[in-house]
Chains A and B, each alone.
Chain A
Amino acid sequence: MTGPGGVPSTRSGRPGRPADLDVSRAWIVDPESGREGPGELVVRGGILEALTWLDGRGAAGIDDRGVIATPGFVDLHAHLREPGNAAAETIASGLAAAAHGGFTTVCAMPNTTPPVDGPAAVQAFRARVAASGSPVRALPYGAATAGRAGEQLAALSGLAAAGVAGFTDDGSPIHAAPILASLLAYAGMLGLPVIDHPEDPSLTAGAEANEGVVATVLGLRGWPAAAEVGAVARDLAILADVVRDEPRARLHLTHLSVAGSFELVRAARAAGLPVTCDVTPHHLALTDEWIAGARRLAWQALGGAGSGDPSSTGDPWSSGAIVAEPYDTSLRVNPPLRTPADAEACAAALRDGIADAIATDHAPHSAVDKDVEFGLAANGISGIETALGLVLELVDAGRLSLATAIAALTTGPARVLGGEAGAPDGIGGAARPPLGRLVVGAPADLVVFDRSARWTVTRDALLSRGKHSPLLGRDLPGQVLLTLAGGHVGFEAPPT
């Protein structure tokens, strides 16, 4: 299979078919063993038959700037929209988009219409996944409360028995503190994590953009950091109480976006609390100044070397950074894009191991919900296909090591789902390999991408029905060449 450049190709080729990959020479990153370097992969009949590390002459021509093979990515946070909003996304289009982005496992948020708040809805979800023909593993989360109304616990045992990966009311915070306490205890008993979207809604009513200079100048209603930090503090205080009686309780905080949140998580972890968290590619790489029409990546807006100033080089108007029209609704997201210093805090959290995972919060919307006034637009970025590219921009800029980035896309999220025991076995069918690992003898679950090959984000290039990406027209590094999910081809780049 390898061409001169080490570019892999499969013999069977067609998506969904078991893959045969004779020899794929690549820079292999295996976070489970902590090893990376030149290697060869052999896949036959969909099974990863061999993983051989190369050295000496055998490794010639392979480096970490070229073709890279890693375990398939695991997304802890995606909205697939079906049932209820097929104009925004379907399970089939969402999973196709996931494979295009290198993801072989996607945790689907239950805020569909109707929500996934009972076993029947889980069965319906599984039926749709099977009908999609996608080999990507789709793990449903169950709603935390009945109808996602935040009042009564959902059918938690039934959901657990049906195989949900965790419980969450994402999209809405779990508002009532007593409900969160019960949920953490009950989910802990069932061996599953609670995923909370930390937001104090009393501070975000009508909010449009991160509270700061950009919102002030653009006249957008400010979304304060305190709305997130306060909710994180509350969640952690409740968790501390709950674990005294139910040590199996686990809390995962999703899409943390401000520096203050990570300080709280750091302290909680130091105190031994069972809390994990994730950050999104857009909060790592983009900032609120994009709403004003700047297009600098977060670290490009940070103070220059030696300035000692952790804040920005100045607002985008003062620094002459405005290059696009303001108020692009593809940038409206919850939580909002923050400051360059907050983006740096997200990256630091990954480097320090405070953040466990990079999750996309892929939130596709239809044009009806996005082609409107900024303040009326739905929150969310269609991001599962651009995640790798943005993360590689951080790696290229030296903000994150390749190993840390890949771990945050593979073993990190697997640990969140499986707790200390590692990836859960019962989830997604016994025939599937463990999440986020390269396991010889198991169905191949991996992604191969060319770190140096840039691709242009266009509406047509995105397989998601959600076309509102702030990156449209921009080149990203790391074109995905091949995604094998459970031994089957999920995505394969057309031959060039």
Chain B
Amino acid sequence: MIASTPGAVAATWAHRHLLDVDVLSIADLDLVMRTADRMAAIAGARGRDEGASDGGAGGGRDGQALRGLNVTILFYEASTRTRVSFEVAARRLGAEVVNVSATGSSVEKGESLIDTVRTLEATGAHVLVIRHSVSGAPYLAARHFGGHVVNGGDGRHAHPTQALLDLYTVRQRLDGGALATRSIDGLLVGRKVAIVGDVLHSRVARSNLWTLTAAGAEVWVAGPSTLVRGFEAWAASGVAGRPFHVTTDAGAAIRDASVVMTLRLQKERMAAGLLPSLGEYTAGYGITPERLAAAASEALVMHPGPMNEGVEIAPEVASGPRSVITAQVANGVPIRMAVLSLLVAAGTTR
């Protein structure tokens, strides 16, 4: 549970796995942010002088944090940015990286998740990054794996590293970078954050609700009734008691917001009877320049990707001056480096 202990000193990282953000304290979040700052420095230095990321020289002690360790990336769902950024992060820390996808592996032959996890441990995996379409699957993997498990996205449930990189991006970019060295404790008090779109199916929205409310933000989630279903009841008790708002009025959510986060709309939602048409969705919830004009003047625009430009976000907004979408992708590397190095340093006994 995120405990907002004012002035809490970041002690040490006590988590063997990263399965969800709900267990991270403010001190944990600060530790991730500060470690990512350090990793960004290495990433920047190495990014300029390096061709193949073979985990070789450079980066000092951090660049060797995972030397001799195997990071296996087990993805049961398609991904570009998350997979690549975990892979780059692991290599920058000196790890050996193995990629496994559900297609072309024994998973296709019906191998159970437990057997797959045991197999990967036997072939030397120390860290397992797992993405799965079934909510909660990483918990099952963690119960049967001797090393560390990182949730790379599970069903509708959680996408912890996305929420961390989003928080990092907000801290880095808000107010022109004036908050970039601040603690998460109270960081976003008095700030409004709008999360607009298909909240119901979004693990990104759920994880961000935990971390953004922990940072003190006034979070508004907005979408058509069919795509925010169930969130009113959650808002009534709050995220571990921290209130947030739910609305079907995108304008109300965006008005004076410091951050406008939009979510990918899966085109299957029409077939499932949740939306009449794409056009109707875009008219009500697409982030257009007109809609964005109601936000705070320096508001950040975010999207976890991949985007449907012209549906949930207008192309000129996606590539506009307020968009930090590319920064989100870039920050995925130092955040994942931070997570991997913190987990490994914590050891497997806790």
Contact = CB atoms under 8 A, between A and B. Distances in A.
A325 B1 contact: no
Nearest to B141: A373
A215 interface: yes
Interface string A337-380: 00000000000000000000000000000001001111110000
Contact of B22 (A208, A215, A317, A373): A317
A218 B266 CA distance: 20
A373 B237 contact: no
A315 B203 contact: no
Contact of B237 (A318, A326, A374): A318
Given A320-B1, A325-B139, A376-B134, A216 B231 contact: yes
B1 A373 contact: no
B226 to A, nearest CB: 12
Nearest to B113: A373
A22 B140 CA distance: 52
Given A317-B240, A322-B1, A371-B112, A212 B136 contact: no
A217 interface: yes
B110 to A, nearest CB: 11
Contact of A327 (B136, B203, B229, B237): B136
B237 A315 contact: yes
Given A318-B240, A375-B155, A217 B206 contact: yes
Contacts of B137: 373-374
A9 B131 CA distance: 56
Given A216-B230, A217-B206, A322-B1, A327 B241 contact: no
A439 B155 CA distance: 56
Interface string B90-104: 000000000000000
A314 B240 CA distance: 9
Contact of B230 (A212, A314, A326): A212
B76 to A, nearest CB: 10
Contact of A218 (B143, B157, B229, B233): B157
Contacts of A208: 135
A315 B231 CA distance: 12
Contact of A219 (B154, B233, B237, B238): B154
A213 B229 CA distance: 10
A216 B139 contact: no
Contacts of A314: 237, 241
Contacts of B241: 314, 317-318
Contacts of B154: 219
A402 to B, nearest CB: 35
Contacts of A440: none
A311 to B, nearest CB: 9
A220 B114 contact: no
Given A315-B237, A317-B22, A327 B139 contact: yes
Contacts of A216: 230-231, 233-234
A364 B229 CA distance: 34
B155 A219 contact: yes
A326 B206 contact: no
B61 to A, nearest CB: 34
A206 to B, nearest CB: 10
Interface string A180-213: 0000000000000000000000000000100111
Contacts of A222: 229-230
B156 interface: yes
A211 B233 CA distance: 10
Contacts of B134: 373-376
Contacts of B206: 217, 219
Given A315-B237, A317-B240, A372-B112, A218 B22 contact: no
A218 B113 contact: no
B233 A326 contact: no
Contacts of B250: none
A221 B136 CA distance: 12
B66 interface: no
A494 to B, nearest CB: 33
Contacts of B231: 216
A220 B139 CA distance: 14
B158 A315 contact: no
Interface string B109-137: 00011100000000000000000101111
B346 interface: no
B271 to A, nearest CB: 13
A376 B241 CA distance: 31
Contacts of A217: 206, 234
Interface in A211-233: 211-213, 215-222
Interface in B139-191: 139-140, 143, 154-158
B239 interface: yes
Contacts of B229: 222
A67 to B, nearest CB: 40
B234 A315 contact: yes
Contact of B239 (A212, A317, A325, A368): A317
3 closest cross-chain pairs (CB), A and B? A219-B157, A327-B136, A219-B156
Given A211-B230, A317-B237, 18 more contacts: A208-B135, A212-B230, A212-B233, A216-B230, A216-B234, A218-B135, A218-B157, A219-B136, A219-B155, A220-B156, A314-B237, A314-B241, A317-B241, A318-B240, A327-B140, A371-B114, A372-B112, A373-B113
20 contacts: A213-B230, A213-B233, A216-B231, A217-B206, A219-B136, A219-B156, A219-B158, A220-B136, A220-B156, A222-B229, A222-B230, A315-B237, A325-B139, A326-B139, A368-B112, A371-B140, A373-B137, A375-B136, A375-B155, A376-B134
Interface of A: 208, 211-213, 215-222, 314-315, 317-318, 320, 322, 325-327, 368, 371-376
